[in-house]
Chains A and B, each alone.
Chain A
Amino acid sequence: MSAEEIAIVAFAQTPAVREYPDSEASMLMDLTNQLLRETGLARSEVGFTIAGSCDYLSGLPFAFVMNVDGFGAWPPVYESHVEMDGAWALFEAWVRLQMGDVDVALVAGSGKSSPGNPREIFPLQTNPYYAAPLGLDPVSVAGIQARALLDAGRARERDFAEVVARSRRDGMANPNAQVAKDVSVDALLKEPYFAAPLRRHDLPPISDGAAAVLVARGDRARQLAKRPVWIRGIDHRIESSHLGLRDLTDSPSSRLAAEKLHIHDGPIDVAELCVRFSPEEIVLREALGLRPSTRINPSGGPLCGHPVMATGLVRVVEVARRIRDGEARRGLAHAASGPALQQNLLCLLEGGA
């Protein structure tokens, strides 16, 4: 496939916090206004709007309808919504902009985990007949995945701790991080198990937060941003819902997406991976064939802040920021959905005129 030239021209995110006291809509309103201010665009110049969020987090069917108040819909707007991470909203916006009749799109992802208990909500992602009644929650599935890695000799517990130590240290330079700390691998390994072989620090924090980006076509992008960040491709793939049919030490769907995007046709300076549990980084690094020269999760990644439904879009924002600021030329953003990296999205970004 050969895609049109489409770029991220502005981006914004809220800090990840344990409990944001106001509504999801108010987060989205702040971000939307910030993006419009930065680009000088009027709301009416945004031709397409699409958001990703999840009703279940707040326990309110149709909760996303209230978010419309946040990103603005008067006069009426051309708009859609995915019940998925905002990264999939970006996918749909990128597809929509291919056609040429719309040249600017607003994309958002938002989620508040604070009203509920994620360990009770997320088992409902699994097969409703065979798995959900067992209450298999993401932490337990991540534990099974970690155990599979250990049993296969593909990782040691120390490797998990190294991912955590590096991520939490990198998070100290990230003003949007919820959890950040300079802590040694040895100290981490002395902590007790939470869901063996995972320790509490192998888990992400529970977060509220949102992210938004403005994307634009070719010359319009060049007008709106001094340094547009070009989307070279987005691909996403899913794996079976039956955990027993999957090799949890691998991520074939990520690998396939990477092949489709030809990510190795050039150096990858930075990769922001949706590592919600530290062992996932080990799986992804290998599946994607990332080399040591690729800087992984310089923001600290989801282990420092995990605003569900925005976490994937935040990865895009973090890569875009580094490309815009000249720290990287070409980067990869990854989003994930489902237990044990069941569904994966890759977005290849590049700087340049």
Chain B
Amino acid sequence: MAERCAVIGIGQTRYARRRDDLSLDGLVREAALRALEDAGLDWKDLDAIVIGKAPDALEGVLMPELSLCDALGAVGKPIHRVHTAGSVGASTAISAATLVESGLYRTVLTLGYEKQSEGNATWALGGGRSGSQGAGGSFAPWIRNYIRKSGAPEHIGWKVAVKDRKNALRNPYAHLQLKDISIEKVKESPMLWDPLHFLESCPSSDGAAAMVLTDSAGAKRAPRRPAWVIAHAKRTEFSQFPGRDTVRPAAGVECAKALYAKAGIKDPLHQIDCAELYVPFSWYEPMWLEGHLFTDEGEGWKLTDSGATELGGSFPVNMSGGVLSSNPIGASGMIRCLEAASQVRGSAGEYQVEGARIALGHAYGGAAQYFAMWIVASEPAPSF
């Protein structure tokens, strides 16, 4: 009983260092209401709600679905909560899509959020220990290893940092609006975790992102163009073991393979029009271009260097500004998925990729060990 799933509503809050103007309830409600409005629906039209966020300890609220259910119109309905580390936003969208695809639920609200200003994200990302090296500290050695193996020149990271921040200037929701961003500024910003400079790292944001998903019949009734979910995949592997490839984790490769197989895609770089990849540190753009099979090994940085991943390039990546410009952790994967959907709906405004038909949303988490991805299209059964 497989049903098709479509994205018919998208809602985001403005992302910022601190959203003191909103409670947690207000934050999630702002995104949810915007998604419902976009879908032309009301709370009563929802059959289920699926939320996701990173650790409860970030805000100090245990099992937040219990206290947020009123704000999310969930009373009397099913609501459940996903947590798969940094990949959670995309995992949550996929769980919600599964509810629709199963045929058991017609219209589902899915939402990811984080209000990082309520707590200490670097403490939490260090597994709750003091003196944490932070996420950048975990990833930097693997990035150095990528640079060593691929022979990529050091300016690649700076280039990604500038590109994504320039894209963010076109996105009114983006947290960082760095009008004077430049290669010079990036490389002169303080070194945090060699080779990552301050401006090559994601910010810590407050924000929420939501989508309304529904079946074919619901998509037909929707006031605006739907984005069709044509494939999704998730893969997980152990955090560490001898011989683990931390630069190009097997789970990421297998996730991409499963995703493309489901979608019927053989040449992702050419058959997919654009991608929102989870790039919290600049170097992860070329690393995921390789790790998710857009290019051969050692070739990802060349694609970035060629300008292909810029807005207007042949394969734009992170048109919205990406995680480098807004990072409410629990929402960041959801944002990647909904920005991909927005592109194929033609609703991405100033950062619309002209004629985008097929787009990919992606997130990863943990020790680069959790992967969740989806492909959305402007048609339910696109031909390639």
Contacts and interface: CB of A to CB of B under 8 A. Distances in A.
A65 B57 contact: no
A: interface residue count bin: 35 or more
Contacts of B2: 99-100
A1 B103 contact: yes
Given A49-B236, A62-B127, A99-B98, 7 more contacts: A73-B369, A76-B250, A83-B63, A84-B81, A124-B62, A126-B67, A256-B76
A146 B239 CA distance: 45
Given A121-B62, A235-B78, A95 B104 contact: yes
A237 B1 contact: no
Interface in A21-69: 49, 54-56, 59-62, 64-66, 68-69
Contacts of B24: 128
Contact of A95 (B75, B99, B249): B99
B235 A238 contact: no
Given A74-B237, A124-B61, A241 B69 contact: yes
Contacts of A82: 80-83
B104 A1 contact: yes
Interface in A324-350: 337-339, 342-343
A205 B127 CA distance: 28
Interface string B99-128: 101111000000000000000000011011
Interface in B121-168: 124-125, 127-128
Contacts, number: 184
B: interface residue count bin: 35 or more
A79 B70 contact: no
A96 interface: yes
Contacts of B370: 79
A167 B99 CA distance: 36
A75 interface: yes
A337 B66 CA distance: 8
B60 A240 contact: no
Contacts of A157: none
A76 B239 CA distance: 11
B128 A79 contact: no
| Closest 4 A/B residue pairs (Cβ) | A61-B55, A76-B251, A124-B62, A98-B102
A337 to B, nearest CB: 7
A95 to B, nearest CB: 5
B28 interface: no
Contacts of A60: 127-128
